[in-house]
Amino acid sequence: MNIRYGERTILKDLSFTVKEGEHWALNGENGAGKSTLLSIVCADNPQSYANDIVLFGHQRGKGESIWDIKRHIGYISPEMHRAYMRDVPAIDIVASGLSDVSGLYRKAKAEQREVCEFWMDIFGVKEYADTTFLKLSSGEQRLVLLARAFVKDPSLLILDEPLHGLDLKNRRLVKDVIEVFCQRPHKTLLMVTHYREEYPKNIDHEIYLKKL
Protein backbone atom coordinates (compact mmCIF):
# COMPACT_ATOMS: atom_id res chain seq x y z
CA MET A 1 0.00 0.00 0.00
CA ASN A 2 1.26 3.46 -0.96
CA ILE A 3 -0.59 6.67 -0.09
CA ARG A 4 0.56 10.09 -1.30
CA TYR A 5 -0.89 13.58 -1.09
CA GLY A 6 0.89 15.77 -3.62
CA GLU A 7 4.60 15.50 -2.96
CA ARG A 8 4.14 14.01 0.49
CA THR A 9 4.19 10.25 1.03
CA ILE A 10 2.03 9.17 3.99
CA LEU A 11 2.29 5.39 3.74
CA LYS A 12 4.92 3.53 1.72
CA ASP A 13 5.17 -0.18 0.94
CA LEU A 14 2.83 -1.09 3.80
CA SER A 15 1.62 -4.68 3.89
CA PHE A 16 -0.95 -5.18 6.63
CA THR A 17 -3.31 -8.11 7.26
CA VAL A 18 -5.91 -8.27 10.02
CA LYS A 19 -7.67 -11.59 10.47
CA GLU A 20 -11.09 -12.14 11.99
CA GLY A 21 -10.92 -12.25 15.78
CA GLU A 22 -7.59 -10.42 16.08
CA HIS A 23 -7.18 -7.35 18.27
CA TRP A 24 -4.68 -4.79 17.01
CA ALA A 25 -3.18 -1.71 18.59
CA LEU A 26 -2.02 0.87 16.05
CA ASN A 27 0.63 3.17 17.47
CA GLY A 28 3.16 5.55 16.02
CA GLU A 29 4.45 9.05 15.54
CA ASN A 30 2.19 12.02 14.85
CA GLY A 31 1.69 12.35 11.10
CA ALA A 32 2.77 8.75 10.46
CA GLY A 33 -0.52 7.83 8.76
CA LYS A 34 -2.48 6.06 11.50
CA SER A 35 -5.75 7.84 10.79
CA THR A 36 -5.14 7.55 7.04
CA LEU A 37 -4.81 3.79 7.39
CA LEU A 38 -8.10 3.64 9.30
CA SER A 39 -9.81 5.71 6.59
CA ILE A 40 -8.67 3.10 4.06
CA VAL A 41 -10.22 0.30 6.11
CA CYS A 42 -13.43 2.30 6.57
CA ALA A 43 -13.66 2.80 2.79
CA ASP A 44 -13.58 6.58 3.29
CA ASN A 45 -10.33 7.21 1.39
CA PRO A 46 -10.53 7.32 -2.43
CA GLN A 47 -6.88 6.27 -2.70
CA SER A 48 -7.92 2.80 -1.60
CA TYR A 49 -8.96 2.19 -5.22
CA ALA A 50 -5.34 2.65 -6.34
CA ASN A 51 -4.01 -0.01 -3.96
CA ASP A 52 -4.34 -3.77 -3.57
CA ILE A 53 -6.82 -3.86 -0.70
CA VAL A 54 -9.18 -6.65 0.35
CA LEU A 55 -11.90 -5.86 2.89
CA PHE A 56 -14.17 -8.59 4.27
CA GLY A 57 -13.19 -10.86 1.41
CA HIS A 58 -13.90 -8.31 -1.33
CA GLN A 59 -11.23 -6.72 -3.50
CA ARG A 60 -11.64 -2.95 -3.18
CA GLY A 61 -13.08 -1.50 -6.36
CA LYS A 62 -14.46 -4.79 -7.70
CA GLY A 63 -18.11 -3.91 -7.29
CA GLU A 64 -18.76 -3.79 -3.56
CA SER A 65 -20.34 -0.59 -2.24
CA ILE A 66 -19.06 1.51 0.63
CA TRP A 67 -22.14 0.42 2.58
CA ASP A 68 -21.35 -3.27 2.03
CA ILE A 69 -18.17 -2.53 3.97
CA LYS A 70 -19.52 -0.12 6.56
CA ARG A 71 -22.29 -2.44 7.73
CA HIS A 72 -19.58 -4.59 9.36
CA ILE A 73 -17.83 -1.67 11.10
CA GLY A 74 -18.32 0.35 14.27
CA TYR A 75 -16.18 3.49 14.19
CA ILE A 76 -15.24 6.49 16.28
CA SER A 77 -12.51 9.11 15.92
CA PRO A 78 -11.67 12.60 17.16
CA GLU A 79 -12.43 13.89 13.64
CA MET A 80 -15.90 12.37 13.77
CA HIS A 81 -16.50 14.02 17.13
CA ARG A 82 -15.50 17.42 15.78
CA ALA A 83 -17.81 16.95 12.78
CA TYR A 84 -21.01 16.73 14.85
CA MET A 85 -22.47 20.23 14.69
CA ARG A 86 -26.26 19.70 14.65
CA ASP A 87 -28.10 19.86 17.96
CA VAL A 88 -30.24 16.70 17.70
CA PRO A 89 -31.29 14.29 20.47
CA ALA A 90 -28.44 12.06 21.59
CA ILE A 91 -30.46 8.91 20.94
CA ASP A 92 -30.78 9.92 17.27
CA ILE A 93 -26.99 10.11 17.06
CA VAL A 94 -26.77 6.56 18.44
CA ALA A 95 -29.52 5.34 16.10
CA SER A 96 -27.59 6.63 13.09
CA GLY A 97 -25.05 3.90 13.81
CA LEU A 98 -27.67 1.27 12.89
CA SER A 99 -28.01 2.60 9.37
CA ASP A 100 -25.85 1.62 6.44
CA VAL A 101 -26.77 4.71 4.44
CA SER A 102 -25.12 8.08 4.35
CA GLY A 103 -25.81 10.61 7.05
CA LEU A 104 -24.95 11.00 10.71
CA TYR A 105 -28.34 12.15 11.95
CA ARG A 106 -31.12 9.56 11.93
CA LYS A 107 -34.25 9.86 14.06
CA ALA A 108 -34.56 6.76 16.22
CA LYS A 109 -37.49 4.58 15.20
CA ALA A 110 -39.66 3.16 17.97
CA GLU A 111 -38.27 -0.34 17.46
CA GLN A 112 -34.70 0.97 17.65
CA ARG A 113 -34.98 2.78 20.97
CA GLU A 114 -34.47 -0.34 23.08
CA VAL A 115 -31.12 -1.28 21.57
CA CYS A 116 -30.01 2.37 21.50
CA GLU A 117 -30.92 2.84 25.14
CA PHE A 118 -29.19 -0.43 26.02
CA TRP A 119 -25.85 0.82 24.68
CA MET A 120 -26.35 4.29 26.10
CA ASP A 121 -26.89 2.64 29.48
CA ILE A 122 -23.69 0.59 29.03
CA PHE A 123 -21.76 3.83 28.53
CA GLY A 124 -23.58 5.65 31.34
CA VAL A 125 -25.45 8.18 29.19
CA LYS A 126 -28.97 6.70 28.99
CA GLU A 127 -30.34 9.59 31.04
CA TYR A 128 -29.31 11.93 28.22
CA ALA A 129 -31.20 10.02 25.49
CA ASP A 130 -33.50 12.95 24.75
CA THR A 131 -30.99 15.68 25.53
CA THR A 132 -29.68 17.36 22.41
CA PHE A 133 -26.09 16.58 21.55
CA LEU A 134 -24.61 20.06 21.80
CA LYS A 135 -26.06 20.47 25.31
CA LEU A 136 -23.85 17.63 26.54
CA SER A 137 -20.31 18.02 27.84
CA SER A 138 -17.47 16.93 25.56
CA GLY A 139 -16.99 13.75 27.59
CA GLU A 140 -20.71 12.90 27.45
CA GLN A 141 -20.66 13.50 23.69
CA ARG A 142 -17.75 11.08 23.35
CA LEU A 143 -19.68 8.41 25.28
CA VAL A 144 -22.71 8.90 23.01
CA LEU A 145 -20.50 8.42 19.95
CA LEU A 146 -19.04 5.28 21.50
CA ALA A 147 -22.57 3.93 21.97
CA ARG A 148 -23.11 4.70 18.28
CA ALA A 149 -20.01 2.67 17.37
CA PHE A 150 -21.22 -0.38 19.29
CA VAL A 151 -24.97 -0.20 18.62
CA LYS A 152 -25.11 -2.51 15.60
CA ASP A 153 -22.90 -5.13 17.27
CA PRO A 154 -20.21 -4.80 14.57
CA SER A 155 -17.80 -7.54 13.64
CA LEU A 156 -14.99 -4.94 13.34
CA LEU A 157 -14.46 -2.12 15.81
CA ILE A 158 -12.27 0.74 14.60
CA LEU A 159 -11.55 3.00 17.54
CA ASP A 160 -9.32 6.01 16.96
CA GLU A 161 -8.27 7.34 20.38
CA PRO A 162 -11.54 6.24 22.04
CA LEU A 163 -10.45 7.37 25.52
CA HIS A 164 -9.56 10.88 24.38
CA GLY A 165 -11.24 13.60 26.45
CA LEU A 166 -12.62 11.25 29.13
CA ASP A 167 -12.04 11.47 32.86
CA LEU A 168 -10.37 8.60 34.72
CA LYS A 169 -13.66 6.91 35.68
CA ASN A 170 -15.01 6.87 32.15
CA ARG A 171 -11.66 5.86 30.65
CA ARG A 172 -11.79 2.76 32.84
CA LEU A 173 -15.43 2.17 31.87
CA VAL A 174 -14.74 2.38 28.14
CA LYS A 175 -11.68 0.17 28.41
CA ASP A 176 -13.74 -2.43 30.30
CA VAL A 177 -16.50 -2.34 27.65
CA ILE A 178 -13.96 -2.85 24.86
CA GLU A 179 -12.40 -5.77 26.71
CA VAL A 180 -15.72 -7.53 27.35
CA PHE A 181 -16.90 -6.92 23.77
CA CYS A 182 -13.70 -8.39 22.34
CA GLN A 183 -13.97 -11.54 24.45
CA ARG A 184 -16.82 -12.63 22.18
CA PRO A 185 -16.01 -14.87 19.20
CA HIS A 186 -15.32 -13.32 15.77
CA LYS A 187 -14.96 -9.76 17.11
CA THR A 188 -12.04 -7.87 15.58
CA LEU A 189 -10.47 -4.67 16.92
CA LEU A 190 -8.31 -1.94 15.39
CA MET A 191 -7.49 0.68 18.01
CA VAL A 192 -5.31 3.76 17.71
CA THR A 193 -3.74 5.13 20.86
CA HIS A 194 -0.48 6.84 21.76
CA TYR A 195 -0.37 5.26 25.22
CA ARG A 196 0.28 1.61 25.96
CA GLU A 197 -1.54 1.89 29.29
CA GLU A 198 -4.73 2.43 27.29
CA TYR A 199 -4.42 -0.93 25.54
CA PRO A 200 -7.27 -3.32 26.35
CA LYS A 201 -5.97 -6.60 27.75
CA ASN A 202 -7.26 -8.36 24.59
CA ILE A 203 -4.61 -6.74 22.38
CA ASP A 204 -2.68 -9.53 20.68
CA HIS A 205 -1.05 -7.66 17.78
CA GLU A 206 0.64 -4.29 17.45
CA ILE A 207 1.89 -2.15 14.59
CA TYR A 208 4.03 0.97 14.97
CA LEU A 209 4.16 3.51 12.15
CA LYS A 210 7.02 5.96 11.65
CA LYS A 211 6.61 9.29 9.95
CA LEU A 212 8.26 9.30 6.51
Res 10: pLDDT: 67
User: Could you give the number of structural domains in the chain?
Assistant: 1
Query: How far is residue 4's CA from residue 20's CA, in Å, rounded to a whole number?
Result: 28
Res 144: pLDDT: 96
**Residue 182, domain member (yes or no):** yes
Please report, in tens digits, the pLDDT of each residue of the chain (212 residues total). 566 666 676 667 677 788 999 999 999 888 777 777 877 777 665 555 555 666 666 555 555 666 667 788 899 988 888 888 888 999 999 998 988 544 556 677 788 899 999 999 999 999 999 999 999 999 999 999 999 999 999 999 999 999 999 999 999 999 999 999 999 999 999 999 988 999 999 999 998 888 76
**Residue 125, domain member (yes or no):** yes
**Residue 166, domain member (yes or no):** yes
**Residue 2, domain member (yes or no):** no
**Residue 158, domain member (yes or no):** yes
**Residue 4, domain member (yes or no):** no
Phi and psi angles of residue 208, each rounded to the nearest 5 degrees, phi first: -120, 125
**Residue 26, domain member (yes or no):** yes
CATH number, residue 172: 3.40.50.300
Res 56: pLDDT: 62
Res 166: pLDDT: 96
Query: How far is residue 170's CA from residue 113's CA, in Å, rounded to a whole number?
Result: 23
Structural domain of 191: 17-209
Res 188: pLDDT: 96
- Residue ranges in the chain assigned as alpha helix (H): 34-41, 66-70, 78-83, 90-95, 113-122, 138-150, 168-182
Res 22: pLDDT: 95
Q: What's the full length of the chain, in residues?
A: 212
Res 148: pLDDT: 94
**Residue 12, domain member (yes or no):** no
Whether residue 27 contacts residue 208, with contact meaning beta carbons closer than 8 Å, is answered with yes
